[in-house]
Structure 1
């Protein structure tokens, strides 16, 4: 029998019997952060609205996610239909024609409601190539009770000198309380994200205007020395293995006096269902060095994008539209409380008086996002944009290699000076190999 005829007969039989067509399954690769885990718990709503689409989740640790999705999209592998990627990757991959333009997302989607700074970072030549699920900057989260016990008051614009003093006075190792928690896990999006932001706030830069690495500068030496001093004397043991999620857990369980990290953590440290210290959490801007007018706060968003290699682009677009819509924000608010809504993406959320009143971190988050200067991340002249990253394709590999060197210094297997020397050499070598300046 002719294959076409046989297929048509099969379809007719299905229709005659009233059998539902098989659902189309899309594979979504995402990071194991709290907001993404929450989304998975609300999938019944998506299924009600899209009964013909099933979702297969691949939930990975941050470094692993980046490695796998980068490999898959660069090789046109087609393993995933929706990717969770950052505003670092979006413009680079869009220019490679690796991402599907996000157009015609539905009449009620309201693209204009996205915060301008967030949408701009995901737009290339006027076209949106990824939709923000949540966005963040960086800030200080601290224990108000421990700071008061130490006889200190958090300044409106904290300096690193104050943070060091507070970390010392808040540390009580005999009771398992450490004055400060910072990222130590190697990775361009882990310890290098934090250390780049800290370096910016210290007046440092990754490259001069001729693309020469600057790890041999006094600003970078001060940055790494200060970081190692804080973590060695007042940080938790095993910090070279701690990234965002590990430090979040330490803070929630009362082990950290202060934590400088992503503003998205605000809802998790102040939610009594998640945090044992929820009633004594304060928020302040990311620190700066005396005399340096730069807080180093970054702009980052975790976004949902559709690879051009996907064979199920319509179903993938339906999922992205659901997960990043105003309706999803309302769903989270109804099911789990408005303070748990994905932060940093939609203007309407920050115009909601209930959110501002309920979420103590809301205004600090918005202020940090809107004041982040990704076009001039350092007070010195630089040939790149970014914040906690350098927006060139080579940064992913270079940043991870430098992260491993700095993580080794935190673990005590190399000195600060040796780490800076290694970072300088490997970055110079890789930049020359890549043909900079271009």
Structure 2
């Protein structure tokens, strides 16, 4: 689950390896065989809680006589290569979990069953928009939303109180004003940081770009054209720089939030805020247990007072391989997994359910409540097969941020170079 924000894209040979797959619609499948059958399900490590899968598999087997669910938990590390091999072979699993940046690549390669006609069976009217888009290709739906998460602002309640901040910021200006008060109160400590914000946290940058009305790319059918040189995208980049400079952060400008791990920095007790995923608080509190009670969260604020900024929403989808031997059973399994009964359990585990708007369980905790509040305004990266290679390689968004923040390039040059790199990846 913690690797959603990192694509695990494979090599360019994916398309060739999958070119022998059956048609993506799976319409040529033979009639289901009589007698005992096995449904093979691949979910990722850290995804569905054991309690949920135990209950679901028991119910599924009880309602489908002579069917055994073969449940296999996979590791994120190396999964792209493992999926490529499995989906091209004759012994493919029947249900797979795939990261939201992976789905377009496999869909275009013809490795997934077209689920467009059955979408309503999988609670379509309540799908998260961000995951719905990532599971589609060329106007058809090849993957169903599973669960998601988005970033929020973790903050120290005690530091806010001592600095005279009576309520969490609900606008960008409130945020900047809070930073000013925090620095005035604690700035004499050379180790203090009002906000820890590394130079390459491009997921956060996307919120600012979206909030200005911009985007990474414009779409025309299945073609994407980079749009980081628009006035709106540049305005988002400018606010990132303004926020970083105002915060007095000591974070490097040429690394992301994992280098060094920002949760560890927050855990040292000298940082008032960080933009993070909800579970990063638990990581920070491992060495400083008091942080759990001292911390809370608020959604990334918009420039428009009283609203939340759009957020990048990472997550996972569920799909049926085109070479599954039991596509009929797989669709029945998806129907049960995406039902309200089981989706509500994801909210109880601290995740945003992909096919349900019931987030009441998330609202019981202030940190996950902040995530839930922003979730309805979640966005995805361009749903193109080329995106996986962007994250796996030399990410142009990271290069753009570092170049602009360090002064190595003007904003015009930095965005133009990023556009060129993105367009090359989209074309490839």
Under a length normalisation based on structure 2, what TM-score does the superposition of the two structures give? 0.63
Tell me the SS of whatever aligns to 1:156: coil
Query: Against the structure 1 CA distance between its residues 327 and 172, is the aligned structure 2 distance closer, same or farther, given a 3 Å change threshold?
Result: farther
What is residue 198 of structure 1 aligned with on the other side? 208
Following superposition, the deviation at residue 146 of structure 1 comes to: 1.5
Query: Against the structure 1 CA distance between its residues 230 and 71, is the aligned structure 2 distance closer, same or farther, given a 3 Å change threshold?
Result: farther
What is residue 111 of structure 1 aligned with on the other side? 123
1:100 aligns with 2:113: yes
What is residue 3 of structure 1 aligned with on the other side? none
Separation of aligned partners in 2, 1:237 and 1:219? 22
Q: Which has the higher helix share?
A: 1
1:402 aligns with 2:389: no
Q: Deviations over 1:116-168 (max 9, x none)?
A: 64675356799753333323444323222111122223233343533643664
1:139 aligns with 2:167: no
Q: Deviations over 1:391-434 (max 9, x none)?
A: 44434434552145257669x9x655279746632532552686
Following superposition, the deviation at residue 174 of structure 1 comes to: 6.2
Separation of aligned partners in 1, 2:263 and 2:218? 34
Query: Against the structure 1 CA distance between its residues 425 and 104, is the aligned structure 2 distance closer, same or farther, given a 3 Å change threshold?
Result: closer
What is residue 366 of structure 2 aligned with on the other side? 360
Query: Against the structure 1 CA distance between its residues 246 and 130, is the aligned structure 2 distance closer, same or farther, given a 3 Å change threshold?
Result: farther
Q: Is the 8 A contact 2:148 2:315 kept in 1?
A: yes
Tell me the SS of whatever aligns to 1:234: coil
Q: Deviations over 1:262-301 (max 9, x none)?
A: 4x549969999x9643333333231334799982334444
Match of 2:349 among 318, 325, 340: 340
Q: Is the 8 A contact 2:128 2:376 kept in 1?
A: no
What is residue 300 of structure 2 aligned with on the other side? 286
1:296 aligns with 2:310: yes
Tell me the SS of whatever aligns to 2:204: helix
Q: Deviations over 1:362-416 (max 9, x none)?
A: 65444423345xxxxxxxxxxxxxx452344434434552145257669x9x655
Query: Against the structure 1 CA distance between its residues 104 and 221, is the aligned structure 2 distance closer, same or farther, given a 3 Å change threshold?
Result: closer
Match of 1:54 among 47, 60, 70: 70
Tell me the SS of whatever aligns to 1:424: helix
Report the count of equivalent residues: 377
Q: Is the 8 A contact 1:141 1:282 kept in 2?
A: yes
Q: Is the 8 A contact 1:269 1:278 kept in 2?
A: no
What is residue 176 of structure 2 aligned with on the other side? 161
What is residue 64 of structure 2 aligned with on the other side? none
Tell me the SS of whatever aligns to 2:322: coil
1:151 aligns with 2:164: yes
Separation of aligned partners in 1, 2:403 and 2:150? 26
Q: Is the 8 A contact 2:171 2:307 kept in 1?
A: no
Q: Is the 8 A contact 2:400 2:418 kept in 1?
A: no
Q: Is the 8 A contact 1:224 1:416 kept in 2?
A: no
RMSD of aligned C-alpha atoms?
5.3
1:390 aligns with 2:365: no
Query: Against the structure 1 CA distance between its residues 203 and 161, is the aligned structure 2 distance closer, same or farther, given a 3 Å change threshold?
Result: farther
Following superposition, the deviation at residue 178 of structure 1 comes to: 4.0
Query: Against the structure 1 CA distance between its residues 40 and 150, is the aligned structure 2 distance closer, same or farther, given a 3 Å change threshold?
Result: same
- Structure 1 unaligned segments of length 5 or more: list them: 1-20, 186-190, 333-337, 373-386
Separation of aligned partners in 1, 2:108 and 2:205? 28
Separation of aligned partners in 1, 2:334 and 2:317? 9
